[in-house]
Structures are given as structure tokens and as C-alpha cells.
A and B are shown apart, each in its own frame.
Chain A
Amino acid sequence: MKFTEEHEWLRVEGDEVVVGITAHAAEQLGDVVFIELPDEGTTVSKDDEVVVIESVKAASDILAPLDGEITEVNEALVDEPGKVNDDAEGEAWFFKMKIEDMSALDDMMDEAAYKKYIG
């Protein structure tokens, strides 16, 4: 898995990347009560706001980690946003995307680097 400074994780699955937020981020957010996902097929640029996530405390945006196209979203989260708190790095993925340049992943943090990043 790769990690961004925005506390997203990315997992490569074939020619796609699965994206979610880290358990650390989910813990910081608190109980998640609302998630708005992008439309499948949307073309996004890095740092576009693609997901809205609201916890009992506040609303935050999840940014597109890379340029690409959203190919699939995890609709189950809309009805059960609390899954993000239960299994942030597993079942509670947000979306899958096709990215133009897989080599961009090479510059991202690995797990050890992310752990160091969050201290």
C-alpha cells in the first residue's frame, strides 16, 4: 500500500488503484455519519475534491490522489458510513480509479514512511 500526506491509502489492483482513508485519519475524524461519493466515470485531476466525508464533528473533503478516471465507487458506504470507523483500510474503500501514470505511485510514502509521518 501507498500513502499520501492527505492520509489516503492506495492499493494497486490490476490496472486500477483502490483509494480509502487511513485508520489514523478515521480515528481523527471521529464517528463518520455521511459520505458523498463521485459519479463513476468522472475524470479527475490530482487534488480535486472527490469525496465529502462528514463526522459527528465536521465536514472534510477527500482529494483525488492522482490524475485519472473514477471507475467504481463503494455505494455501501452511503448507507453505512460508520464502516469507515470500523474498517478504514479494508472494507471501507471509497473509490477505484484508473490512473494515467502508475509510476506516480513510486513517489508516495510506503507504510513505514507514513507511520513516521503521523508520528
Chain B
Amino acid sequence: MSDLKRTPLYDLHVGLGAKMVPFAGYEMPVQYSLGVMKEHLHCRAAAGLFDVSHMGQVILRSEDPKVAKAALERLIPQDVLGLGEDRQRYGFFTNDEGGIEDDLMFANRGDHLFVVVNAACKDADVARMRAALEPEVTVKLLENRALLALQGPKAEAVLAEHHPSLAEMRFMDVATVPIAGAECWVSRSGYTGEDGYEISVPLAAAKDLAQALLAHQDVEAIGLGARDSLRLEAGLCLYGHDIDDTTSPVEGGLTWGIQKTRRLGGDREGGFPGATRILSEMADGVSRKRVGLIPEGRAPMREGTELFASPDAETPVGTVTSGGFGPTIGAPVAMGYVGASFAEIGTALFGEVRGKRLPVSVAKLPFVAAGFKR
């Protein structure tokens, strides 16, 4: 694994007994000694610490901050200009065909925008932003900061011990706060469905910060395995699986992430790649939709499982894009795309697992209610 990159917490992971696997060009912990199931349950019950330093942290800056905001609106269907200072929003880069190139978080930090993108897409995202935004906007991929996430119902209490102001933040607030002696950029957000925080920290201080948080009895280190089952139960998309460059945000059930001002009839209607398809789908509907799926038995229905309308139908009506065991649900859960006429909650379908058609029903997302502190 010599050509793989390591985060500043690599030695800490290994010391904690992590099983390291290649992920998006990095050696990352898939699980620690607790194991995926216990890590997952611990995060929902107390607090889990995740190393997400492989993700791309990018700063967009222009002399007049409005220029960078308006420029980013040319790449994503979100309202950037209307986002309040020290607030964060979920977004996605779209392509000319209306597919999704990556999903992201962006924050208004007053004189600049702070953007976090997926590890596997970060080089392409930076190239896309440079091509579209330079020279009026500078695009800087930060190589000098790590990113940690502290997630779960006890995250607030744990972090408040380091700085009381952190308890006052609401969901999607952003602040610069010293934690364990380092200047941290903190957002109240995450990707587990739990309340929690994401903390950008200077590389040199990352290990100390992680150790300070792990020293708390309520905090356990959580690997990529549980990160995946947590986000699946929370109904959140994994880029490259549940959404990709062929799925539109409307098919993916992400229209909640397109603010009114960018929609038909809005002040800044359209003006992003793929607007024609995306806006017409919002008006006229789509032929397939992302849905939640609950298999009836105990057999997990994993990515790629084909879905049929009956036990003997020849043509599939959909496919699972993420699936596995949901430790909090205590049963298998999945997400996938189905033809629009099969997308209603409660629709009975059959997933083909090892040659057998097993019953599965379309279910409401998320599987586990979000614990966000709004």
C-alpha cells in the first residue's frame, strides 16, 4: 500500500487496533477493535470520533466575497448568495446532462467560502472549480489541515468541555473556535444522522485533538464500516453509489437541497449545469426515484441487487445502490432506484439474492430519525 496517502492520524489508528484498508487513495481505518456493529451502536448512543481527513477542504476567495458566491452558483444549484454568514449548506456539483459530479458542504465564512468535497472526487472538483472560477476567484485546496467528525448525542457535552460556545451552535452553524489549543473551524453537521460536529484542525494539532477527544469516556473511534451503516440508516447518499454522474438530483430525492431562488420562477432561476433537465424534472416528474428499502427476511440486499415487481417477472424495475445490515434497526436496510410507479411507500417488490427472489418493501427514509439540533 506504498502509493497510498496517510492522514496525520495514521499512527493513532494503528495504535488503536484499526484494520486499515485502501479508500479513495488513502489508508483508512475500516474498523477498530470494537468492530463495526459496536462502533455503530456506540455512535448512536454516545459519541464517535471519525477521521475524515481524506476529504478535500477548499477555500474560495475573491476580493469582493460576492464574486466567489455568484461564481459558485454557476456550478451548483444551491443558493450561495443568500447563505448567511457562518452558516453551512449541503450542495452538489451538476454536469451538463443534469447528473451529479459530487456532493459537498459549503460555508459562508464572511470573506471567503469554505468547501468540503469527497476524497475520491477532490482533484476533479478542484479542477472543475479552477476552470470555471479562476482568475476572479482563487481556489485553494488545503493540504495543511485535517478533518475530524465527532458525532452522536453526547458530542455536544464532550465538546462543550473544551469550549462552552460549541454547545450554543445550531445545526449547520460554523465557527472558528480554539479547541485543545488549536484554531479549529467547527461546523455543527455530519453524515451519520446524529447531532454532531465536523472540525477542521491544523495538521500539526490533529493528533493531540483526536487524543483529547478520545480521552473522554463517552468517545470511541469509529471506522469507515460503521460510517457507512450509520449514513445508510440515516438515508444519506454515498457518492458513486446512491448518486453519480448519471443520476439527477430529482431522481436522487435531493430537490430539498435546491433552494427556491434557483428553481423555476426564482430570482436566480437556473444558471447551473444541467438546469434544463433538472428544472423540467422538478416540474414534470422523473421515470425513476431513489427510495428506501426494507428486506423482509434477514438476508441483506447489497449494492447491485436487482429488484422485480413479482417473483417471476423477467425485467427488473430497479436496483439496490447501497445495502447492508442496519445495527440500530437490527435488520437489513437498503436504498436503491426504482421506476417511478414503484416508488410509493409500502410497494412490495422482490430482490434477487443468490438466485432467489426475496420480498422487500419500499420504505420511508431515513430509517433512523435524525438527531440534528436545529
B-contacting residues of A (Cβ < 8 Å)? Answer: 30-31, 33-34, 36, 52, 54, 56-59, 78, 81, 85
Residue of A nearest to B40 (CB): A56
B298 in the interface, Cβ–Cβ < 8 Å?
Answer: yes
- Contact present for A31 and B300 (CB under 8 Å): no
Given known A56-B324, A57-B225, contact A30–B35 (CB-CB < 8 A): yes
Complex Cα spacing A57 to B40, Å: 13
Complex Cα spacing A107 to B229, Å: 42
- Contact present for A54 and B225 (CB under 8 Å): no
Interface residues of B in 28-59 (CB under 8 A from A): 30-31, 35-38
B32 to chain A, nearest CB (A): 12
B302 in the interface, Cβ–Cβ < 8 Å?
Answer: yes
A87 to chain B, nearest CB (A): 15
Number of A-B contacts (CB under 8 A): 45
B181 to chain A, nearest CB (A): 37
A34 contact from B31, B37, B229, B325, Cβ within 8 A:
B325
Given known A56-B36, A56-B229, contact A33–B298 (CB-CB < 8 A): yes
- Contact present for B37 and A56 (CB under 8 Å): yes
A16 to chain B, nearest CB (A): 27
B4 in the interface, Cβ–Cβ < 8 Å?
Answer: no
A30 to chain B, nearest CB (A): 6
Complex Cα spacing A10 to B229, Å: 34
B196 in the interface, Cβ–Cβ < 8 Å?
Answer: no
A-contacting residues of B (Cβ < 8 Å)? Answer: 30-31, 35-38, 225, 229, 298-300, 302, 324-325, 327, 332, 354
B192 to chain A, nearest CB (A): 15
- Contact present for B300 and A30 (CB under 8 Å): no
A40 to chain B, nearest CB (A): 19
- Contact present for B299 and A30 (CB under 8 Å): no
| A57, A78, A85, most chain B CB atoms within 10 A | A57
Between-chain CB contacts (< 8 Å), 19 pairs: A30-B31, A31-B36, A31-B37, A31-B325, A31-B327, A33-B37, A33-B332, A34-B299, A34-B300, A54-B299, A54-B300, A54-B325, A56-B35, A56-B229, A56-B325, A57-B225, A59-B302, A78-B298, A85-B35
Contact residues in B for A36 (Cβ distance below 8 Å): 299, 354
A4 to chain B, nearest CB (A): 22
Given known A56-B229, A56-B325, contact A31–B35 (CB-CB < 8 A): yes
* 20 further interface pairs, Cβ-Cβ under 8 Å (given A31-B37, A57-B36): A30-B35, A30-B36, A31-B36, A33-B37, A33-B300, A33-B325, A34-B298, A34-B325, A34-B332, A36-B299, A36-B354, A52-B354, A54-B300, A56-B35, A56-B37, A56-B324, A57-B30, A59-B300, A59-B302, A81-B298
Residue of B nearest to A54 (CB): B300
Residue of B nearest to A52 (CB): B354
Contact residues in B for A81 (Cβ distance below 8 Å): 298
Residue of A nearest to B297 (CB): A34
A24 to chain B, nearest CB (A): 14
Residue of A nearest to B229 (CB): A56
